[in-house]
Amino acid sequence: MAERSEVVFVDGVRTPFGRAGEKGMYWQTRADDLIVKALIGLLERNPKLPQEQIDDVAIAAATQTGDQGLTLGRTVALLAGLPRTVPGYAIDRMCAGAMTSVTTVAGAIGLGMYDLAIAGGVEHMGHHPMGSGADPNPRFVAEKLVGMDALSMGATAERIHDRFPELTKERADHFAMNSQIKLAAAYKAGYIQPDLIPVAIKSEQGWGLAERDEAPRPETTMEGLATLKTPFRPHGRVTAGNSSGLNDGATVSLIASAEAARQYGLGAKMRLVSFAFAGVEPEIMGIGPIPSTEKALKKAGLSIGDIGLFELNEAFAVQVLSFLNHFGIADDDPRVNLWGGAIAIGHPLASSGVRLMIQLARQFEMHPGVRYGLTAMCIGLGQGGSVIWENPHFDGKKN
């Protein structure tokens, strides 16, 4: 019987995230080409990886059709030039697709069935808008299993404002503005660029190169945010300014057993401690990371106070605020989303989970005084996902 293994995050990269739609930089780029480009970039910067030893390739997409269909993990492996002996498969857990890709292969590694695996996600929301082609079962509404609001993520965010009146629009706008400011500062400091894989893009002007995220609005102000429309409800509180946008992009990571990482000289940027997923009322899906984090903490034997860095997906500002409010963390706590989040960077659905991990891994390297970090996100139809990581650079000294 195989022995259980320690699981490590060896490395992760991503494409720059683009704005979805005809004016976005990836409009004429295929979704599968985005993830293939990211995977090739990952392989190139890990030349010691014995590609024939990769046990599986798990690639997520929330809309698995067209250029995001055809068993992505397998097709991407072939297109990226991996040996034909390397298998692959596709995953869907809506926004937590890439996160689930990581935890799924991590489970196989932990059981000793795998040694090396590729995990990631892609979403081209320009080609495949959220929910496109879906045919929700009429029983959902007829039997009142979920309310119609549950199928509108913006409406679920408005419900969080309803449930927690102290989470005001002003607080949400302020959090959103800070996300833009922090990302701009991170770009200026050169923290984001090392993990971006440039992508050749075609437009009416000819060929170009995508080297930076397209969505950031560093000029954002509170005054500007206050004027934005509330599309999900008249006189609501959720706007385009305090929400993540519609985006295209891909992320990919190399997950391994600690022994395999040592054997092949790959190194380890993070060690997996625990993970958990949880379900909540679909109509208020944004609170999902609260119970999933509580479960992950319990499995790890840790408390929220042990977490020194948080990478929380900013689907909506109010969703992150509900998490912080629950755990008694200040809106502007310096441990949270050091370099901004999805409000500024973008949220190409199934790819975002690994984007959180990429940033946390880089921050671990820069903060050896931090031992544990958390990546967490809300998930459509009422779920949350959380992964707790340990910093291999931890030196026991406070930052």
Q: Which is the catalytic residue, given 95, 127, 128, 161? A: 95
Q: Which is the catalytic residue, given 128, 174, 367, 378? A: 378
Cβ burial, residue 4 (10 Å; 0-12/13-18/19+): exposed
Nearest to 179 by CA among 211, 212, 217, 214: 217
Q: Which is the catalytic residue, given 128, 347, 367, 393? A: 347
Contact (CB, 8 A) for 280 and 301: no
301 CB neighbour count, 10 Å cutoff: 9
Q: Is 326 tagged catalytic?
A: no
Contact (CB, 8 A) for 29 and 137: no
Q: Is 347 tagged catalytic?
A: yes
Name the amino acid, one letter, at 308.
G
Name the amino acid, one letter, at 223.
E
Active site residues per annotation: 95, 347, 378
